[in-house]
Amino acid sequence: MEEMKTLDSTQYSKVCSEKVFLSKVIKNAEMSGVKATYARLILFNTLQKPFTPKWAKTIIINALGDFATSISKNPNTFPVPGSIDDLRTLALALVAVDMFIDTEVKQKSKLKLKEEFQEYDESLIEDIDNRI
């Protein structure tokens, strides 16, 4: 049995800078879809909050870093941002850190989402908002 390699969150620190990460999210937004893009933006904005504890930031960095670097412990069958493995990772990260996701984070994420998609079906993100 192959041993699963654990990635250190410091490996993602360069690719999770605001400029680099947001450019990758924007570049892949249409392919990823509204839901996955919104989830990534929520996690990223939660990461930026000064009062988010280190353990929560580590979870977020690992979830976002997997997308930002295209490094995956379980490679996708179809290596497309927003595929099943990516969505599962995002969902688990959102659940793990939901107590640090506030209205400000959601609003900031929605504004960025609106910039990228101009028009989108609000019901696509209601599911995420209702769960966190």
Summarize pLDDT for 51-82 with one digit per residue, the tens: 999 999 999 988 887 676 654 444 444 445 44
pLDDT at 70: 57
Query: What CA–CA distance (Å, rounded) separates 121 from 104?
Result: 21
Mean pLDDT score, 23-34: 77
- Residues with Cβ within 8 Å of residue 56, at least 6 apart in sequence: 46, 96, 97, 100
As a whole number of Å, the end-to-end CA separation of the chain is 36
Give the pLDDT score at 13. Answer: 56
35 in Cβ contact with 80 (< 8 Å)? no
Examine the pLDDT at 29 and tell me if it is beyond 80: no
For position 103, what pLDDT does the model report? 95
Structure tokens at 1: 């049995």
Mean per-residue pLDDT over the chain, rounded: 78
User: pLDDT for 85-127, tens place per residue?
Assistant: 678 889 999 999 999 999 999 999 999 998 888 888 888 899 8
**CA quadruple 81, 51, 10, 97: dihedral sign:** negative
pLDDT of residue 28: 74
Mean pLDDT of 24-45: 85
Q: Which pTM value belongs to this model?
A: 0.76
Higher model confidence: residue 13 or residue 114?
Answer: 114
* Pairs from 106-115 (Cβ < 8 Å, separation ≥ 24): 106/42, 108/41, 108/45, 109/38, 109/41, 109/42, 109/44, 109/45, 110/38, 112/22, 112/41, 113/34, 113/37, 113/38, 113/41
